[in-house]
Amino acid sequence: MTTSDEASDLARDLRRNLPAADKHLAMLHGRLAAAADAEGVLDIAYRTVDTPVGRLLLAATERGLVRVAYASEDHDAVLQTLAERISPRILHTPARLDAAAVELEEYFAGQRRAFDIPLDWRLTGGFRSTVLHHLATDLGYGQTASYGTVARLAGNPKAIRAVGTACATNPLPVVVPCHRVVRSDGSLGGYLGGLEAKRILLTLETAA
């Protein structure tokens, strides 16, 4: 049985030892990925997409989208963390994330106001999970709320700093809209993707 790690190692060996064209390697990789998926040994699929806020890494399990990462988070480091926290059986398998890529493309084109793809929430828990679930369901497109307002929504009005931590460690930015949380005076506050990315997302939603 071929594991995803073995598939990746084989592809690297072929690239070193055979003068194959890139398209042939891509075809081989696709076959290996399909085999790993069919045999049930592919736990995490990933791909990248180019967006107005930079290249985003998308990763999904059988449960749903588990990670969205900005380039500033270091995609290699993110994949390593996924291997440690979920499973080392990770493979670059773009087709498995086509639905997520399409919804993001529609969102950035101003054609989508909510995401319908299933989410895997396992990378967050406790109060942080409560905060992020409220952001996903209660803070609609084009709206903003202060950290204090979100703390009240999450059932702990005094947990303003904890709300900030939940936003800063959100494993699913853009899709779970922590960019809609701002300071009480209306200023942007922080954002894990950088303030320019937050500004772009808020401007996009306001203009639509």
Catalytic residues: 178
Q: ∠123-171-121 over CA atoms, to 5°?
A: 40
Q: Angle CA(19)–CA(21)–CA(27) in degrees, nearest 5? A: 120
Query: In angstroms, rounded to a whole number, what is the distance separating the alpha carbons of residues 195 and 8?
Result: 36
The DSSP call for residue 119 is B
CA-to-CA distance for 194 and 200, rounded, in angstroms? 10
Among 116, 100, 87, residue whose Cα is nearest residue 47: 100
**Of the candidates 22, 17, 47, 45, the residue with the CA atom closest to the CA atom of residue 33:** 45
Residue 50 in 3-state DSSP? strand
Whether the CB-CB separation of 90 and 79 falls below 8 Å is answered with yes
